[in-house]
Structure 1
Amino acid sequence: MNNKYGLHGKLKALSGNGDNLASILLEAAQLVSTAKGCHLYLVSRDTKEAEAVWVTEVWDSKEDHDNSLKVEGVRELIGRAMPLLDGMPEKGQELEVLGGAGIN
């Protein structure tokens, strides 16, 4: 198996905007789910930090991930999410995905 490209990052919303941010990221998940090379785009709420939303992604390659930003509608969602953020998003942790359940 070729190793996959993974990202894991936290986005923190301004107070009271965690649900809105999560909703936008779930819309993004639907848009990129059919993009070339997408294996996983998982949106999760932090159980200890109400306004924090985590995104975990698995792609065939970094190039496929980068190209997903060009999927129709993704830029519009980014534009809607940015005003909800409490500062700039933390740089996501890049991962070399070795395998696991559901990752082919």
Structure 2
Amino acid sequence: MRLKATAGNSDKLASILLKASALVATAKGCRLYIVSKDNSEENAVWVTEVWDSKDDHNNSLNVEGVRELISQAMPLLDGRPEKGQELEVLGGAGIS
């Protein structure tokens, strides 16, 4: 999922998302949560997530502290986050 920060706030947004990654890593079904900066677009931050199920992903919002971090991140966004893709993982390196 691509998130665009308001001018000058991409590092702050990335910091909040990295805190969120530490919280959701404890959630049932979280296989991967990576925060990345876009080298071609100054204010873009990407989140790559892999979950066992959509329900596990939805339930991650109930992890203590996650909603607070979301409320901190929202004012830093320049528009709505782009909708991520929902894919069925078939396998590959690092998938058990």
Shorter-chain TM-score category? Answer: over 0.9
**Secondary structure of the corresponding residue to residue 57 of structure 1:** strand
Q: Larger strand proportion, structure 1 or 2?
A: 1
TM alignment of 1:25-40, pairs within 5 A:
25-40=17-32
Q: Larger helix proportion, structure 1 or 2?
A: 2
TM-score (normalizing by structure 1): 0.89
Q: Bigger CA drift: 69-78 or 87-96?
A: 87-96
TM alignment of 1:47-66, pairs within 5 A:
47-66=39-58
Separation in 1 of the partners of 2:93 and 2:22? 21
Separation in 2 of the partners of 1:99 and 1:25? 26
| Number of positions where the alignment pairs a residue of Structure 1 with one of Structure 2 | 96
TM-score (normalizing by structure 2): 0.96
Q: Given the alignment of the two structures, is residue 75 of structure 1 paired with residue 54 of structure 2, yes or no?
A: no
Separation in 2 of the partners of 1:12 and 1:47? 13
The aligned amino acid for 1:29 is S
Find runs of 4+ consecutive structure 1 residues off by over 6 angstroms. Answer: none
Percent identity, aligned pairs only, is 75
Separation in 2 of the partners of 1:95 and 1:31? 23
Q: CA RMSD in A?
A: 0.8
Q: Which runs of 5+ in 1 are unaligned?
A: 1-8
Separation in 2 of the partners of 1:84 and 1:78? 10
Q: Which runs of 5+ in 2 are unaligned?
A: none
